[in-house]
Amino acid sequence: MTSKSLKFSEFPYERPNLEKLKSEHIDLIERFAAATTAQAQNAIIAEWNALRTILSTNTSIAHVRFTLNVKDDWALAERKFMDENSPTIAEWSQNFVKTVLASKFLKEIEAEWGSLFIQNLEQTVKTFKNEIKPMLIKQAELTKQYDGILASAEIELDGETFNLSRLERKLLDPNRDTRKKAQQAKFNFLEDNKQDLDQIYDDMVKLRHQMAQELGFKNFVEFRYLEMGRYEYSPEEVARFRKYVHEKIVPLISKQRKIQADRLGVDELRFHDEILHFPEGNPTAQGNPEWIVAQAKQMYSELSPQTEEFFNMMIDRELMDLVTRPNKAVGGYCTNFPSYGVPFIFSNFNGTTHDVEVLTHEAGHAFQAYKSRNNKVIDYIFPTYEACEIHSMGMEYLTWNWMDKFFGAQTSKFQFYHLLRSLMFLPYCCAVDEFQHWVYENPTATPADRKSKWHEMEHKYLPWRIYEDLPYAEEGALWQFQKHIYASPFYYIDYAFAQICALQIWSKSRKNMDEALKDYIRICEIGGSKTFLEIVKAGNMHSPFEPECLDGIIEEAEQWLDSWKN
């Protein structure tokens, strides 16, 4: 059996041998420094890339197996090993990076690997040094604690026990009292874990601030923008984007929320009503998870030869774990096994509309990784976060014409729901982002201060929100369900930027599907070899930082919603 036919369950895992890995890095450094030609140094960089590829693959295998069952002893041990030793491995890698950057053949190296490769190496040196290793280990441990709390949820409701993913069906129940009770149970769980969640985040914020200052940055905001590869824009430009959303999109959504209340037949929308868009319930796929995958297989065979090859491979090699179950981590993600040139999709199907959305979303990430699998630098498989999300959200819209395969007579409802939710998501993204900027600009704030600030953000960006009989939510605690805030700081406004780009893909696909697909595949193939705004340009899209771009696409989407008839 070749590596090209191995299924995920057959992927061999090898815990990194630290002594061997350290020796290999020392050898690379010594041979690179002794090399007398650019060609020889480039060959050694290729060896380093191969070493990182193996390490990344084993790290991903350990991560996936942990999220499949957060109580699996083997997975817990490997996660602990990776968390504790990754900073040391990063130190060895950075020693090689410093040697590369000191090369007299740097121009030739740049010509071989690309200017972004050099820029990323320089960023690595600025955002890591040996002194922060203990902080990185502690940060990983705190993230694991947070994951464990959410994954361990056992919420009692109506004689049943739910994890957070399964509870979604109750939160979407057409019966208003059921939705209200489900939200109360959900926030009771959050409040029961209040002390631990507050402490974990407080420790994280202070740790990250200390880490940034140790590296010479003013605060974690400055550090994180560089670490995330945000080379083309600053917090000021992000703030202007948020201002646009606040001034232009929040009023639009406020209007839509009033229409939603009328559609549901309620006098005033409450928080437990917000995610229900139709009185009879949101549209759901007309079959079980196996049926959904079978429909997706047919859809991707019709979309393009490239997507057909990709999705068949994902099925044949069992590279998807889609259904929720006890002790499975919450949420959905896509990761990659670069040694095998394949991605992996993780989700929590729970019988809601989101089952189809998360599949197409993560399939967008996975398709992009698959199309970039032969990029010669491992860093070029995935781009930065905001570019990654164009692929995922763009795929959601490219598959619109096939939604009847999943929703049947409810297809029109789904499309209305999907487009409206895309717009409604933008103010929430901005609330999360402005909240995080405040948090890391005020690292000594208390947990109570943070909840108060979140309450302020809801009032600003989500002014329609009315909590009823949810006192802990009213305090400003909802953000603690948002894993990104804990585990991936500042990775959220990226969704808003990408949504603006994805809406352009939606618009283009309505006029010329072939062109939309051609542009989409092009940016998937680019992977991480270009920056965000370069990828936007290569996809024939406008930057989300251009007000005229925002005006045009938001107006088109609003017109579509206003003209919709069920």
> Which residue(s) pair with 342 in the sheet?
337
What would the mean pLDDT of 248-258 be, rounded to a whole number? 96
Query: Cβ distance 504 to 542 under 8 Å?
Result: yes
Instruction: Identify how many contiguous H helices and E strands the chain contains and give both numbers.
Output: 25, 5
Kindly tell me if the per-residue pLDDT of 1 is higher than 50: no
For the chain, give every domain's residue range.
Answer: 8-131
Return the percentage of the chain with pLDDT > 90, whole number: 95
pLDDT at 557: 95
Summarize the confidence of residues 244-265 as an average pLDDT: 96
Residue 325: C-alpha distances to residues 71, 114, 166, 374 (Å): 12, 44, 8, 35
Q: What pLDDT is attached to residue 3?
A: 67
Q: Is the pLDDT of residue 57 over 70?
A: yes
- Residue 70 CB neighbour total at 10 angstroms: 21
Give start and end residues of each alpha helix (H) in 36-175. Answer: 38-68, 73-101, 106-113, 115-126, 133-151, 164-171
Contact between 422 and 361 under an 8 Å Cβ cutoff? The reply is no
Q: Which of 28-42, 149-163, 321-335 has the highest mean pLDDT?
A: 28-42
Geometric angle at alpha carbon 238, from 236 and 242, rounded to 5°: 115
Q: What are phi and psi of 323, to 5 degrees?
A: -100, 140
Residue tagged 């019966």 (tokens): 175
Strand partners of residue 343:
336
Number of Cβ within a 10 Å radius of residue 268: 11
CB atoms within 10 A of CB 472: 20
Question: DSSP character for 306?
Answer: H
Written as six digits, the tokens of 344 are 């992996």
Give 349's strand partners: 323
* DSSP E strand stretches across 355-500: none
Mean pLDDT of the chain: 95
Q: pLDDT tens digit string along 111-151? A: 999 999 999 999 999 999 999 999 999 999 999 999 999 99
Average pLDDT over residues 165-171: 92
Q: What is the DSSP track for 168-229?
A: HHHHT-SSHHHHHHHHHHHHHHHHHTHHHHHHHHHHHHHHHHHHHHHTT-SSHHHHHHHHTT
SS3 394: helix
CA distance 68 to 47: 32
Residue 155: count of CB within 10 angstroms of its CB: 18
Q: Tell me how far apart the alpha carbons of residues 447 and 547 are, in angstroms, rounded to a whole number.
A: 36
Burial 189-201 (b: 16+ CB within 10 A, else e): bbbebeeebbebb
What secondary structure, in 3-state letters, does 237-279 show?
HHHHHHHHHHHHHHHHHHHHHHHHHHHHCCCCCCHHHCCCCCC
pLDDT surpassing 70 at residue 18: yes
Please tell me the number of Cα atoms within 13 Å of 251 on its side-chain side: 5
Residue 566 has pLDDT above 80, yes or no: no
Sheet of 320-323, strand order: 320-323, 342-349, 333-337
Is the Cβ–Cβ distance between 314 and 131 less than 8 Å? no
412 half-sphere exposure, CB direction, 13 A CA radius: 7
Residues with Cβ within 8 Å of residue 348, at least 6 apart in sequence: 165, 322, 323, 324, 328, 330, 331, 332, 358
Can you tell me the mean pLDDT for 290-316? Answer: 98
Distance CA 263, CA 260 (A): 5
pLDDT digits 0-9 by tens, 487-543:
999 999 999 999 999 999 999 999 999 999 999 999 999 999 999 999 999 999 999
pLDDT band for position 547 (50/70/90)?
confident
CA distance linking residue 332 with residue 314, whole number of Å: 16
